[in-house]
Amino acid sequence: MSLTIEIAGDLEPLLKAEAGKAGVAPEEYTSRLLRNSLLKQKSNAPVLSPQEARLLNEINQGLSAEEIELYVNLVRRRQEEAISAAGFDELRRLTHKLEKIGISRAEKLAKLAEFRGVSMERLIDELELRAPDVL
């Protein structure tokens, strides 16, 4: 695409000087400036208010990687009917913790939806939240 642009007279010497420093023609330099400016604008993430950022951070809280691994292993042992009494107690503790996390997450999602003025369903779609796989 070819495009003709009229620029202010005081910009022309600046443009030529910067193009010269970059070792390219003014037209190429202008094209690069436009490309960088447009791509930068396109990639800017939406700005969150401190309240939204806090809620999203709290929504994303969950079990640690170690707890998840332990939970999965305990569920597997229970399904194989090879879980000890101590293992079953730990599974019950982790399950209770997961339920509390889920309740807290739902409460925070409701607050965030209210803050943004959207339905919970729409917020879940916007955040691309999906139900976890069942163990």
DSSP state of 47: P
- For residues 46-68, give the mean pLDDT: 90
CA distance 122 to 111: 13
Q: Tell me: the pLDDT tens digits for 73-91?
A: 999 999 999 999 999 999 9
- Give me the sign of the Cα torsion angle 113, 118, 122, 123: negative
Q: Strand runs (DSSP E) across 16-74, as ranges?
A: none
pLDDT at 44 over 60: no
Q: Chain-wide mean pLDDT for the chain?
A: 88
